[in-house]
Amino acid sequence: MAPCTETQIWNSYSAFDDEIPTVDYALLFSHDPAQRFMALEFLRHACEEFGFFYLVNHTIPDAVFDGILKGISNYFDPTTLNERNIYRKKGPLDTIRWDQNSSSGENREYLKLFAHPKFHAPAKASGFSKIIEEYSKEMRKLVDGLAKAISKTLGFEEHYIEKAFNLKSGFDVMAMNLYPPNSTSKGPVGLPEHTDPGFMITLIQDVNGGLQILSHKGKWINSYIPHHGILIQLGDHLEILTNGKYKSHIHRVIVDNNKVKRISVVSLHGPSLDKVISPGKEFVDDEHPKEYHGTTYKASLEANGCHLIDVQSSLQDLRILKP
């Protein structure tokens, strides 16, 4: 059998430019009841029919966006590689981790850190750490607002999700990524296909393209985030809580042979580590039997030998096998 050509390899990662819903954050909290109702209905549609959407007209200042993207670019300076190397993977107690991968399955440089309930950041980069912390605080406020709005789309009072996940003590991890990491990148994959644990995943980036999402119709869609907008993706544990009503979706990052450097900031906003997450009784009945096992958020993150900072999905392990 003849080997695949480069063109054939790239075609296997092609995607469509279908429309992705854009939600206006301010309208979700409008003082006009009619506007608020319509915005919440649109959010319900985006959650139920897509599981991901763009968020615009939100509360995070443009300067915070620009500051963290510039800070990451400066931090990933190739001349200071040794300073970052001290955060290379050591063990399960890591609260900060850096690495640089160049393989056929993953091509990126990244910095991960615990962002909540206790914030951690590189000690020798105090200015950068302050920028990250400010961004993290602003994003948490936004996610708290979305938790209230999504609770209403499910037909409950606004604190339903906050209580179900104990979000005030929620476990958040930030991942700052540089694609592609260096001239030794191998292959088209920046990050392989996966879903993410938690309640919600927020993502911003400095240039468009690269991220692809698998829709509920089984079609890969290119993501082009509006300027200073945020891509919102629903997490595995919202899928579990709603017994599959609101689903998380598989996504991946495809790089373009190192032609364009891309920076992204991904935050995984999760329940409290000791909170047991299982399908809510409101979503289980004779027509909708329980589809997921319940377990603590910590146990789900540590499944299959993973560590907390890995924030790897264990959704498939938690599905109840049907006879």
DSSP characters for 234-287? E-HHHHHHTTTSS----EEEE--TTSS-EEEEEEEE---TT-EE---GGG-SSS
Does any domain span residue 3? Answer: no
Domains: count for the chain = 1
Reading the chain (323 residues) residue by residue, the pLDDT tens digits are: 444 444 444 457 889 999 999 999 999 999 999 999 999 999 999 999 999 999 999 999 999 999 999 999 999 998 999 989 999 988 889 999 999 998 888 999 999 999 999 999 998 888 999 999 999 999 999 999 999 999 999 999 999 999 999 999 999 999 999 998 666 777 889 999 999 999 999 999 999 889 999 998 899 999 999 999 999 999 999 999 999 999 999 999 998 766 778 999 999 999 999 999 999 999 999 999 999 999 999 999 999 999 999 999 999 999 998 77
Phi-psi region of 257 (alpha: psi -120 to 50; beta: other; left: phi over 0): left
What are the start-end ranges of the H helices in the chain?
A: 6-11, 25-28, 33-49, 62-75, 81-85, 126-153, 160-165, 236-241, 297-301, 315-318
Q: What does the pLDDT read at residue 227?
A: 93
Q: Which residues span the domain enclosing 160? A: 13-318
Nearest-angstrom CA–CA distance, 150 and 40: 8
Q: Across the beta sheet with 211-214, what order do the strands follow? A: 189-194, 251-254, 211-214, 220-222
Nearest-angstrom CA–CA distance, 124 and 19: 42
Q: What does the pLDDT read at residue 10?
A: 44
pTM: 0.94
Q: For the domain that residue 139 is a member of, what is the CATH number? A: 2.60.120.330
Does any domain span residue 8? Answer: no
